[in-house]
Structure 1
Amino acid sequence: MLQVLSIALSALLAHTAHAASTQTSTAFDQSGVIVEVHSFFKAAAQDRDPAAASADGVAGRALVTASGVYAFLETPENQQLLAKTKPGSVVHIKGKLLEKGALLHIDALKKTSQISLDLDLAGLRNAPGRSIALKGTNKCQCGLDVADLPHSCSLGHLHHLEADDGKTYHYLQFAQGKDTFLGHDTHFKDVEVKGRIFPGQFLLIDKIKVN
């Protein structure tokens, strides 16, 4: 009975969040490099134990292009298209972008040998991160506002910070970031986070308070 109620509540939260979204996605059509974020940002990985690869195979990946860094939503569709794409691969991706989260849904991915000469891969990799203090709610896709992007928790209840500033942030899975990503003791709870923000709205947690 409790399981049925939990499923029903999750469905209601998802319907409410996506119906109430104030932003829709935009078309995305760019070439770039697939990276593993936990080793890509040098300042985040420095003096920290290596983060284990995410079991979903999506959350640890990002696309770096001449216009910025983009995270992938943890969906079966994205997982399938990224499964055979190794970090360091140059690709062309068409899909949908939710700008408030720098979040991508892939419609088509193909490997390519062409890339913009404006891509500053070294500059992005060496970004020091910006100190930030955020308040928001730790949500999985059962209630995370991803507007019209396809969404699913079938790969697990994997969490993002839906912050009071209207943006969505993605946890770098070092130390507390891993537990917060998995929703341990924080599932749909209000939190206060201090840490550093990296390109693509990737968040390195230094301290977290659950309210």
Structure 2
Amino acid sequence: MLNGMAHDVLVVEDEEDIALPLMRTLEREGYEVSRVSGGAEAVSFVIDEGPAVVILDLGLPDMDGIDVCRQMRSDGYLGGIIMVTARAGELDRVVGLDVGADDYLAKPFGLAELLARVRALLRRSALIPADDTTVTTSSGLKIDAASRRVHLGEREIALTAKEFDVLAVLASNHDKVVPRETLMNQVWDQNWYGSTKTLDVTIGRLRSKLEAAEAGERVVAIRGVGFRLETGS
């Protein structure tokens, strides 16, 4: 268990033959596990309880998991979301990431692999820069790694876990190009074997949020190399 702490995990799965073994495995690893079987119940749960990670099946009886994820993010949930689904197509993966999921796991999957994804997500969420826990850009954008919150003046800009981590890495290297490989290794995991389009989707969401907030910072793509955060509209 990371840092010796028990982390709350919500399993959103309506099929008991899938949910129960998964819950037992997580509990054996020391996680505090809750389960709901419907999308509406899951949305209410994350608002009330704020689990560290949500393992979200897309094939729910009352709502599509994509809509559940979108609603969770719209309601301000900033924890990790791992989508679990039989939909293995790249388009489904990109759509899932685009609505705010941090990871996407296709069925059938091994429980050891899922545990590794949960640990990696929690590890990334726990990262705090060693030298300075707060970065403030010349435009006034404040990235506080200790609280994992971003503010522009008094207004908070809500970011998902991965969006925050990408921004934190870019901001700590402001005006410098951060290679794609560096971002993938630092924000996802050195052992990540999914598509690097995951990074592009996350960058796209981050750009949109910074633009909507008129943050005065933009993420610039350097073709074939990586990305740079710079001041400018």
Hey, which of these two has a bigger chunk of helix by percent?
2
| Structure having the higher Rg | 2
Q: With the length of structure 1 as denominator, give the TM-score of the two structures.
A: 0.29
Hey, which of these two has a bigger chunk of strand by percent?
1
Q: With the length of structure 2 as denominator, give the TM-score of the two structures.
A: 0.27
Higher relative contact order, chain-length normalized (CA < 8 Å, sep 6+) = 1
